[in-house]
A = this chain, B = another copy of it.
Amino acid sequence: MNGADILCDTLLANEIDVCFANPGTSEMHFVAALDRKPAMRCVLGLFEGVVTGAADGYARMAGKPAATLMHLGPGLVNGLANLHNARRAYSPVVNIVGDHPSYHLVHDAPLTSDIEGLARPMSGWVGRVQDVNDVSPAAAAAISAARSSPGQVATLILPADAAWNEAGGPIAQARISTPSRVDHVRVRAAADALKQGGRSMLMLSAGGLREGALRSASRIAGATGTGLIAQQSNGRMERGAGRVPVDRVPYNLDRALATFAGVQRVILAGARAPVAFFAYPGKPGSVLPEDCEVIELAGPGDDIAEALEQLAEMTGAPRALELPASPLLPLASGALTPDAIIRAVARYLPANAILCDETISAGRDFFGPTFGAAPHDFLQNTGGAIGVGLPMAAGAALACPDRKVVALQADGSAMYTPQALWTHARERLDVLTIIFSNRKYAILQNELKMVGGGDLGRNAMRMLNLDDPELDWVALAQSMGVEAARSDDAAGFNDLLQAAMGRRGPFLIEARI
């Protein structure tokens, strides 16, 4: 067995059986080894941003890491933006990055670069295989790091000679961490704080946004008058009819400040204290009032559900929970608008679907109208690095082949990783993509108006408009093997969406808004 075989066996022995890949010459022995392991599902991305974004989406839904395979430093850097998002989502990912043998690095061949330096900012763990005998221990260490709680990005650099040399030795086992139990004293402190007067908010993220945890949170809210809110961006959230409806911290800074105005304490359950997404002249960076107390009930790696349940019990909340009715809004007619799309999605979403949201500006008001949609998982762009939506949808669909995946996708960000559509087609994934085609970087035009005032001049238009030429999303999807259709009026969109929700396999709707 060579090192590449040992690496495959170590991955498989540790429950990693999907590999999102874009290999190169230095990884050929690893490719040959993967070819000898039919138990490993190899999924090609035509660009590494697809590879890492898919690994993120897979991890969020499978609850375990996939492997990625990338080619040296330049391959890795193409995947870094979506690793940034994965890091912010606490997604476990095991990156395998090939490199030259150490004796070849001295020659500074064209593809040579500082892979560790490039990997570190977006990885929780970075390691390099020392030699063939180190392959299995190093891989197990990477997997252990990825599967620490709540999960992180681990990057393992595999020099080509460690892959092609022969060795024996046992296959190493990784350590899988489980969430830490939250100390009773911390729960008690939160309970005591909630007994004091004034306005409190319980802010949720990570495991705090799964159905059971949300029910406990809702019990706490009911018993204590505490407000509930989710972090602005979260890796995964269970929501929809029959589940506790929770809004998120608004992206808009003024609205976020208004949300927390007068709040005297915030209890964090898997969330981080809310901050401005961007800084603005004369505005604060934290969105909490200056004298607001911040109490961490549970960190993202803790057993948040259990902590919330304990807290609910301490508050004496009844176990029964009455959820508010969330009726669906009527379907829209007339011109197609983001609101019309959202109403239709809320109505036609099948039960147990997975919604991948990268709508940026157009989907900001998505939450209210979809509280009554069929139960679904909601996956977001967590780090603000755009281009995760379509790859994440691919990964989620691979993790959950029996569930419909719906990608709500802004046009500007879709153009970061359009190659993901090809993977949707190649793997026959049940992904319905809805392109919110507004033909501009709408979010930036709004920001620029706040900064510059007045109308956009030529240079600003050249940088913020996407209308010359317009992107033809139907042709783009079809060019990569994905069937597609277009709509620019609400009634037509409603019919198209209903039909698309009822079929299986990749499909794209260009929604011209």
Chain A interface residues (CB < 8 Å from chain B): 21, 23-26, 28-29, 31-32, 34-38, 40, 42-44, 46-47, 49, 73-74, 77-78, 80-81, 84, 88, 100-101, 103-104, 106-111, 113-114, 117-118, 120-122, 160-161, 164, 232-233, 272, 275-279, 281, 285-286, 382-387, 412, 415-416, 418-419, 422, 425-426, 443-444, 447-448, 450-452, 456-460, 462-464, 466, 468-476, 478-481
Chain B residues contacting A481 (CB-CB under 8 Å) are: 469-471
Chain B residues contacting A382 (CB-CB under 8 Å) are: 110
In the complex, A233 Cα to B111 Cα: how many Å? 12
Chain B residues contacting A23 (CB-CB under 8 Å) are: 444, 463-464
14 A-B residue pairings within 8 Å (CB atoms): A26-B278, A28-B448, A32-B460, A37-B459, A74-B386, A77-B81, A107-B285, A110-B277, A110-B383, A111-B278, A114-B120, A117-B120, A471-B481, A474-B479
Closest beta carbon of chain B to A418's beta carbon, Å: 7
Task: Indicate which residue in B36, B104, B111, B422 contacts A385 across the interface (CB closer than 8 Å).
Answer: B111
A111–B469 contact, CB under 8 A? no
Task: Indicate which residue in B38, B160, B278, B466 contacts A459 across the interface (CB closer than 8 Å).
Answer: B38
Task: Knowing that A104-B276, A104-B279 touch, tell me 11 more A-B residue pairs with CB under 8 angstroms.
Answer: A21-B463, A24-B444, A25-B278, A28-B444, A32-B451, A37-B459, A78-B81, A107-B276, A418-B419, A469-B480, A471-B481
Chain B residues contacting A80 (CB-CB under 8 Å) are: 74, 77-78, 80, 118
Task: Indicate which residue in B26, B43, B104 contacts A285 across the interface (CB closer than 8 Å).
Answer: B104
Task: Indicate which residue in B121, B279, B416, B425 contacts A117 across the interface (CB closer than 8 Å).
Answer: B121
Chain B residues contacting A43 (CB-CB under 8 Å) are: 462
Once A74-B385, A415-B46, A418-B418 are accepted as A-B contacts, the answer to whether A31 and B463 lie under 8 Å apart by CB is yes
A84–B88 contact, CB under 8 A? no
Name A472's closest neighbour in chain B (CB-CB): B479
In the complex, A120 Cα to B462 Cα: how many Å? 30
Closest beta carbon of chain B to A435's beta carbon, Å: 12
A384–B84 contact, CB under 8 A? no
Chain B residues contacting A35 (CB-CB under 8 Å) are: 452, 456-460
Chain B residues contacting A385 (CB-CB under 8 Å) are: 74, 111
Task: Indicate which residue in B37, B38, B278 contacts A160 across the interface (CB closer than 8 Å).
Answer: B278
Chain B residues contacting A278 (CB-CB under 8 Å) are: 25-26, 100, 104, 109, 111, 160
A279–B101 contact, CB under 8 A? yes
Copies of the chain in the assembly: 2
Chain B residues contacting A117 (CB-CB under 8 Å) are: 117, 120-121
B160–A279 contact, CB under 8 A? yes
Closest beta carbon of chain B to A469's beta carbon, Å: 3
Chain B residues contacting A450 (CB-CB under 8 Å) are: 28
In the complex, A426 Cα to B439 Cα: how many Å? 13
Name A8's closest neighbour in chain B (CB-CB): B459
In the complex, A273 Cα to B6 Cα: how many Å? 36
Task: Indicate which residue in B77, B107, B120 contacts A286 across the interface (CB closer than 8 Å).
Answer: B107
Closest beta carbon of chain B to A351's beta carbon, Å: 30
In the complex, A281 Cα to B28 Cα: how many Å? 12
In the complex, A422 Cα to B383 Cα: how many Å? 26
In the complex, A115 Cα to B156 Cα: how many Å? 21
In the complex, A382 Cα to B422 Cα: how many Å? 28
Chain B residues contacting A49 (CB-CB under 8 Å) are: 78
Name A87's closest neighbour in chain B (CB-CB): B113
A77–B73 contact, CB under 8 A? no
Once A447-B25, A469-B422 are accepted as A-B contacts, the answer to whether A478 and B480 lie under 8 Å apart by CB is no
Chain B residues contacting A232 (CB-CB under 8 Å) are: 110
In the complex, A139 Cα to B43 Cα: how many Å? 44
Chain B residues contacting A122 (CB-CB under 8 Å) are: 77, 113
B462–A275 contact, CB under 8 A? no
Once A385-B74, A462-B43, A469-B422 are accepted as A-B contacts, the answer to whether A277 and B447 lie under 8 Å apart by CB is no
Closest beta carbon of chain B to A437's beta carbon, Å: 12
Closest beta carbon of chain B to A479's beta carbon, Å: 4
Closest beta carbon of chain B to A72's beta carbon, Å: 8
Name A84's closest neighbour in chain B (CB-CB): B74
